[in-house]
Amino acid sequence: MKTTDLVDNQYKRTDIPKIGPGDEVKVHVRVVEGGKERIQIFQGNVVSIAGSGISEAYTVRKLSYGVGVERTFPMHSPSVAKLELMKRGDVRRAKLNYLRDRKGKAAKVREKRDDQ
Tell me if 30 sits within 8 A of 37, measured CB to CB.
yes
Tell me if 71 sits within 8 A of 83, measured CB to CB.
no
Q: Enumerate the H helices of 1-116 as residue ranges.
A: 5-8
Q: What is the span of the domain harbouring residue 51?
A: 5-91
- What is the structure's pLDDT at 13? 86
**Predicted confidence (pLDDT) at residue 116 exceeds the cutoff of 60:** no
Tell me if 51 sits within 8 A of 57, measured CB to CB.
yes
In a domain, 103, yes or no: no
**Predicted confidence (pLDDT) at residue 30 exceeds the cutoff of 70:** yes
Q: What is the mean pLDDT of residues 20-31?
A: 95
In a domain, 70, yes or no: yes
Sheet with 36-50, strands from edge to edge, namely 67-74, 57-64, 36-50, 24-33, 80-87
pLDDT in tens, 82-106: 999 999 999 999 999 999 988 888 8
pLDDT in tens, 43-87: 999 999 999 888 899 999 998 888 889 999 999 999 999 999 999
pTM of the model: 0.87
Given pLDDT bands bounded at 50, 70 and 90, which one contains residue 19? very high
In a domain, 107, yes or no: no
Q: What are the phi and psi torsion angles at 52 (to 5°)? A: -155, 160
In a domain, 109, yes or no: no
- What is the structure's pLDDT at 45? 94
Residue 76: other Cβ atoms inside 10 A = 17
Reported as half-sphere exposure (CB side, CA atoms, 13 A), residue 112 has a value of: 15
In a domain, 31, yes or no: yes
Count: domains in the chain: 1
Q: What is the mean pLDDT of residues 9-38?
A: 92
